[in-house]
């Protein structure tokens, strides 16, 4: 009886671990070479609205490398720092940057309207497109890039948004090429992007 109980307990733990592993795999990038049976783990698939109010679909960007970051305008530090680094990297890349379409996709569509994004992005490179949409449209983009998002209430009222902070490089057909940490130095971004684009 004891052996049977232990066996059942182990089986239950294995099942729980499998479920957790599946859930985590939905949002943690796993590398350029890992491909699931149904296709790439990370894809570029969205229909959103930019800061000028124009509809932008992922396929509209075919022919350009996409440099994609998810963030929000109420973010206190990581998002503006990352966008500052992306701005510096675009400057350093020179003519190579013309092959890129940098994107900021909001994780906070409730507050980040096109007008809010337009005002926010004036502090960064003008080539960066800010994208928002309905909560359902943004959810589609989050699923496509496997981005983790969790809204968290603040003690003083309101909320912030916890989210994964990778920068994604997608090839001219919208397929995953590689990703970077939001804390990556500008020099590393420049080197990795140039190597991929010029390959």
Sorted by where each begins, the domain ranges of the chain are: 31-197
Q: Residue 181 has what DSSP assignment?
A: E
* Dihedral pair phi/psi, residue 18, rounded to 5°: -65, -40
Fold classified for 31-197: Glutaredoxin (3.40.30)
Q: Work out the angle between the directed axes of helices 186-197 and 78-93 (0-180°, nearest 10).
A: 50
Among left, alpha and beta (phi > 0; psi -120 to 50; other), residue 171 is beta
Q: Per the structure block, which two tokens stand in for 13?
A: 């733990």
Evaluated on CA atoms 34, 170, 142, 120, the torsion sign reads: positive
Between CA 90 and CA 101 the distance in angstroms is: 10
Q: How much is the pLDDT for 25?
A: 37
pLDDT score for 73: 97
Tens-of-pLDDT digits for all 199 residues of the chain? 444 444 444 444 434 333 333 333 344 343 333 333 444 489 999 999 999 999 999 999 999 999 999 999 999 999 999 999 999 999 999 999 999 999 999 999 999 999 999 999 999 999 999 999 999 999 999 999 999 999 999 999 999 999 999 999 999 999 999 999 998 999 999 999 999 998 7
What pLDDT was estimated at residue 58?
A: 97
pLDDT for position 199? 77
From the list 33, 91, 103, the residue with the least C-alpha distance to 65 is 103
Cβ atoms of residues 180 and 93 within 8 Å: no
163 backbone dihedrals φ, ψ, rounded to 5°: -155, 160
pTM above 0.85, yes or no: no
Look-up of token digits 């497109």: 129
């Amino acid at each position: 009886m004891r052996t049977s109980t232990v066996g059942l307990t182990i089986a239950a733990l294995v099942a729980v671990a499998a479920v957790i592993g599946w859930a985590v795999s939905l949002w943690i990038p796993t590398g350029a070479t890992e491909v699931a049976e149904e296709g790439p783990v990370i894809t570029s698939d969205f229909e959103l609205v930019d800061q000028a109010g124009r509809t932008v679909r992922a396929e509209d960007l075919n022919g350009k490398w996409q440099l994609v970051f998810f963030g929000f305008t109420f973010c206190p530090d990581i998002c503006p720092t990352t966008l500052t680094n992306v701005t510096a990297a675009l400057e350093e890349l020179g003519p190579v940057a013309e092959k890129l379409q940098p994107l900021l996709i909001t994780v906070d569509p409730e507050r980040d309207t096109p007008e809010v994004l337009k005002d926010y992005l004036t502090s960064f490179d003008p080539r960066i497109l800010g994208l928002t949409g309905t909560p359902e449209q943004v959810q589609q983009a989050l699923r496509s890039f496997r981005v983790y998002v969790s809204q968290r209430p603040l003690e003083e009222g309101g909320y912030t948004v916890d989210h994964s902070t990778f920068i994604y490089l997608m090839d001219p057909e919208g397929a995953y090429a590689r990703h970077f940490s939001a804390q990556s130095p500008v020099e590393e971004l420049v080197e990795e992007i140039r190597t991929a684009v010029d390959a």
